[in-house]
Amino acid sequence: MSTTLPVTDTRVVIIGAGQAGLSVAYHLRRLGLVPAKDFVVLDRGPRPGGAWQFRWESLRLDTAHKVDDLPGMSELGVSFATADQTLPARDVVGDYYGRYERHFGLEVVRPVEVTRVARVDGGRYEVETNIGTVRTDVVVNASGTWARPFRPSYPGAETFSGIQISTPEYRTASDFAGLDVVVVGGGTSAVGFLLELENVASSTTWVTRRPVEFAMDEHSRVAAVERADAAARAGLPIPSVSSGTGLPASPRNVAGRDRGVLVDREMFSAIEPDGVRWADGSFQHADAVIWATGFRAELAHLAPLRLRESGGGVAVERGRSLRDPNIFLAGFGPQASTIGANRAGRLVATQIMDALAAQNARAT
């Protein structure tokens, strides 16, 4: 780990040291590039672990999305499949990612905030950060989504007098002891909050935009990745996995449904100072609203590159920008979940090496 830029001119800059960023770095190293010389990994987190380091203390690996091992992690003699399930997931992931970075000598620079990426003369790029600027031939954006939670707009939300938070702000169920809580969202975070709050909050109500089914299987997960891939190639907003597949029918989820905790109802029509108003006109008191409504890709620092399409998204195929072939987005679209992030590392790294070889050929 370093708090200064090891170089100011390199071949590849990777923005983000989460699952996707570390996977790309591993494969670039295997393909012959030297960390902190030929490529640099920049990460804004104070510690290893990507977005996992910011998750709530009560989250455990056996109740979170499946966490795939990073490529080559078996060399360390550890695996998330055999990790201690009693420890906070953020601690386990942070520990393993830190060991991984050290074992492969990835020389991650942190904490560093990337503020702007722009083209400069000669077809290269300038990556501006809060600790300096580095020029590069290729940029890999692996900044993820955690810092950009999505909160839909609903009438009256600004008048609500109680607690309103998004997923990244959730810390512990005890913060909601004795409160009437409305949880919004149809994904695994919403389910986790409801189950944690079951015997802590005075009441919980689950609302979703579409009816939830506990039926996700491997076939539907693959289909969800294919839909996300099609949206990415078209430059359209990326659909969530659970929106098209439902949620896992795990014993824990099914039991919660059978107890009446995980039974969703359709969205309210408005928010009032002390509760929510349903479409039929009835009212329900609420002390808190938790918005577990997903995330959007964090791409503001790429704005100078003008990558967005008319549909509002960034057109990406196989992790590569269709507008600029030397810009890669790892962990984006179909790669954004643990289903695809690891596989993306090899794919992106191979294309990067092809791009660098083509640049070398043009230079000679």
DSSP output for 158-215 = GG--SEEEEGGG---GGGGTT-EEEEE-SSHHHHHHHHHHTTTSSEEEEEESS---EE
**12-147+295-363 architecture in CATH?**
3-Layer(bba) Sandwich (3.50)
In whole angstroms, what is the distance from residue 346 CA to residue 331 CA?
A: 12
Does the pLDDT at position 334 exceed 80?
A: no
Calculate what percentage of the chain has a pLDDT beyond 90.
69
Does the pLDDT at position 146 exceed 90?
A: no
Does the pLDDT at position 237 exceed 80?
A: no
Question: Residue 67 in contact with residue 108, Cβ under 8 Å?
Answer: no
Cis peptide before 111 (omega within 30 of 0): yes
Query: In this structure, what is the dihedral angle of CA atoms 144, 146, 152, 156, given to the nearest 10 degrees?
Result: -160
Q: What is the mean pLDDT of residues 241-256?
A: 74
Strand order across the beta sheet in which 283-285 lies: 270-272, 275-277, 283-285
- Give the pLDDT of residue 216: 58
Which residues are 124's β-sheet partners? 120
Which residues are 208's β-sheet partners? 266
Task: Select from 2.40.50.100, 3.50.50.60, 3.40.640.10, 3.40.50.720 the CATH code of 157-291.
Answer: 3.50.50.60
- Give the pLDDT of residue 311: 75
Does the pLDDT at position 296 exceed 90?
A: no
Does the pLDDT at position 217 exceed 70?
A: no
Question: Residue 48 in contact with residue 97, Cβ under 8 Å?
Answer: yes
Calculate what percentage of the chain has a pLDDT beyond 70.
88
More confident residue, 354 or 344: 354
- Predicted structure pTM score: 0.86
Within the chain, all domains assigned CATH 3.50.50.60 are found at: 12-147+295-363, 157-291
Residue 71 contacts by C-beta under 8 Å, 6 or more apart in sequence? 23, 26, 27, 342, 345, 346
User: Between 188-197 and 251-258, two packed helices, what is the crossing angle to 10 degrees?
Assistant: 60
- Give the pLDDT of residue 145: 86
- Give the pLDDT of residue 182: 98
